[in-house]
Amino acid sequence: MDLNNLDPIFKPKSMAVIGVSTKRPLFPGTIIYNKNLHEFPVEVYAVNEKGGLIEGNTVYKHISDVPTDLDLAVIIIKAKQVPQELENCGEAGVKSAIVVSGGFAEMGSNGKKLEEELIRVAYKYDLPFMGPNCIGIHSDYVDTFILPSERLATPPSGNVAVVSQSGGVLIDQILSKFHEREIGVRAAANIGNKALITEINLLNYFNKDPKVDTIVFYNEGFKKNTGREFVQLAKQMKKDIIILKGGKSKFGAKAAQSHTAAMATNFNLIASSFRQAGIIEAITETELVTYTKAISFGLNEIHEGNIAILSISGGHAVLSADLCAYYKLNPVPFTDEQKQLLYESVNPSAAAIATFDNPIDLTGSVTDKDIENCLELLLSFDNVEGIVVLLVPYVPTISMQIGRRLSNIVQNSPPPKKPVIAYLPWLRRYGIIIKGLELNKAIPVAHTVEESIQMMHCLHIKGLKYKKKE
């Protein structure tokens, strides 16, 4: 059974939803059926042993009654009925399945037996399935999340693939926040108990997808031996891999055990190997989002951590400097010649009160042109690997064009491009600056000063994987 070819799951032409209700429009199976019927290109069929109609559409009593070859069956019925239904799918020649139902290994030994039964059936019919105890997947082709679209916040299409052990974390901590930060997603999966399809398979699958550049994981513990395999595989891959681990603490491990039957003991053993394999570990939910933003923009890594910070507020310069100490980044000291160049590049009234040490504080007397000039200089400095611009655009001498003006500079800079990251207050009125900065993925925008330093930190972690270009 090839568990690495997941096209029938992520790009099905046809699918059945087993477990709809003809009476309750907010019944989970009915939600999945209606969502795909009206919002996705997949051809979708409803199945319930009682038959009937949903808004005039046939509900088939048996999976074998569905009048087409099925790529995917989504199963959302009582746990004890699932093995038989999976058997029915196998008999009917269905190519893949997602078992949404809970009540398996996460519920103890009886559930564990049911789960083993599912695996047996899958091998018997060469029928790979995702789950159980999961909310399934989202792609441009299909969406099996058991939640109405109006409750969800869906990110734009893009180059990031997401694999989460938790459905709640996938929807709320990842996809909602990616929506908020406009991080583009190619496909997302909640693998739940991962009885059969594991992180390894999804890593292999997304590694082969040319439209995926970054693969993001939320993991509460690997199954026996798969942790090591995961790290080995990641090490060989050119794509960027970011992981948030849940259940690392004593309290968390206990909670993870009852949540997805996660085995926490193996977990800490392999954690230290992540860095060596070039896997970027996010420690907090916020880091997961900021790291993914920076990485999905395709920014080059940095190696020494030597950065420049360009601020127009002294306080922001101070806060960012403190954060550099925490995140082990080095605001490089400028030479006297560099300081002189910076001094000469800004208007005299700003120059008179500005600070040209690193972090630079151009003060509130700054103009668009001053910021442009400084950024161009910093990009040309040999001792600077990357630049953080702290853009506090409250002074009227900074225009709404500043975003576009800075992204033009970055786009026109010669390769290998140095990464530039911006902080901008997250106010609706400054949305046009954010759009300008992020145009053509030139400069990712962080919404706190800490996030901007986090983003640079993550490029530094990435630098551990790649040798410095000579």
Give the C-alpha separation, 455 to 293, whole Å: 8
* CA distance readout (Å), 147 to 19, 34, 175, 225, 254: 15, 11, 13, 34, 28
Beta strands 14-18 and 43-47: pairing type?
Answer: parallel
Give the C-alpha separation, 42 to 44, whole Å: 6
Instruction: Using the minimum distance from each CB to a copy of itself, give the nearer residue, 88 or 313.
Output: 313
Instruction: Using the minimum distance from each CB to a copy of itself, give the nearer residue, 36 or 313.
Output: 313
Contact (CB, 8 A) for 358 and 332: yes
DSSP output for 16-56: EEES--SS-TTSHHHHHHHHHHHHSSSEEEEE-TT--EETT
Output the smallest distance, CB 319 to a copy of itself, in A.
5
Output the smallest distance, CB 465 to a copy of itself, in A.
26
In the block, residue with structure tokens 């640079």: 456
Instruction: Using the minimum distance from each CB to a copy of itself, give the nearer residue, 50 or 428.
Output: 428
Decide: is 313 part of the binding site for a copy of itself (CB under 8 A): yes
Instruction: Using the minimum distance from each CB to a copy of itself, give the nearer residue, 58 or 154.
Output: 154
Beta strands 330-331 and 306-311: pairing type?
Answer: parallel
Which residues between 12 and 31 bind a copy of itself (CB under 8 A)? 26, 31
In the block, residue with structure tokens 């004890």: 80
Among 51, 65, 408, 426, which residue interacts with a copy of itself (rule: CB under 8 A)?
426
Output the smallest distance, CB 328 to a copy of itself, in A.
11
* Cα angle: 179, vertex 163, 454; to 5 degrees: 60
Among 21, 292, 296, 363, which residue interacts with a copy of itself (rule: CB under 8 A)?
363
Instruction: Using the minimum distance from each CB to a copy of itself, give the nearer residue, 96 or 190.
Output: 190
In the block, residue with structure tokens 């992540």: 274
Output the smallest distance, CB 149 to a copy of itself, in A.
10
> Contacts with a copy of itself: how many residues (CB under 8 A)?
78
Which residues between 85 and 124 bind a copy of itself (CB under 8 A)? 102-103, 107
Among 84, 353, 412, 468, which residue interacts with a copy of itself (rule: CB under 8 A)?
353
Mask for 316-345, x = binds a copy of itself (CB under 8 A):
xxxx-xx-xxx----x--------------
Q: Which stretch binds a copy of itself (CB under 8 A): 87-95, 119-127, 442-450, 461-469?
A: 442-450
Instruction: Using the minimum distance from each CB to a copy of itself, give the nearer residue, 1 or 26.
Output: 26
Q: Which residues have CB under 8 Å from 263's CB, separation 6+? A: 221, 222, 223, 224
Which residues between 120 and 179 bind a copy of itself (CB under 8 A)? 146-148, 150-153, 164-173, 176
Instruction: Using the minimum distance from each CB to a copy of itself, give the nearer residue, 24 or 211.
Output: 24
Decide: is 416 part of the binding site for a copy of itself (CB under 8 A): no
DSSP output for 393-459: TTSTTS-TTHHHHHHHHHHHSPSSPPPEEEE----GGGHHHHHHHHGGG-S-EESSHHHHHHHHHHH
Decide: is 394 part of the binding site for a copy of itself (CB under 8 A): yes
Give the C-alpha separation, 290 to 446, whole Å: 7
Decide: is 448 part of the binding site for a copy of itself (CB under 8 A): yes
Decide: is 432 part of the binding site for a copy of itself (CB under 8 A): no
Output the smallest distance, CB 425 to a copy of itself, in A.
5
Per-position b or e across 446-457, b if 16+ CB within 10 A of its CB: bbebbbbbbbbb
Which residues between 177 and 206 bind a copy of itself (CB under 8 A)? 180
Instruction: Using the minimum distance from each CB to a copy of itself, give the nearer residue, 96 or 311.
Output: 311
The one-letter code for the residue type at 83 is P
Instruction: Using the minimum distance from each CB to a copy of itself, give the nearer residue, 50 or 250.
Output: 250
User: Within the chain, how many helices (H) and strands (E) appear?
Assistant: 19, 19
Give the C-alpha separation, 147 to 26, whole Å: 9
Give the C-alpha separation, 215 to 244, whole Å: 12
Output the smallest distance, CB 397 to a copy of itself, in A.
8
Q: Which stretch binds a copy of itself (CB under 8 A): 57-65, 69-77, 226-234, 350-358?
A: 350-358
Which residues between 31 and 90 bind a copy of itself (CB under 8 A)? 31
Beta-carbon count within 10 A of 325 CB: 11
Among 41, 93, 315, 431, which residue interacts with a copy of itself (rule: CB under 8 A)?
315
Instruction: Using the minimum distance from each CB to a copy of itself, give the nearer residue, 316 or 465.
Output: 316
* Neighbouring-strand partners of residue 108: none
Residue 147: burial class (beta carbons within 10 Å; 0-12, 13-18, 19+)? middle
Which residues between 214 and 273 bind a copy of itself (CB under 8 A)? 218, 220, 246-252, 254-256, 258-260
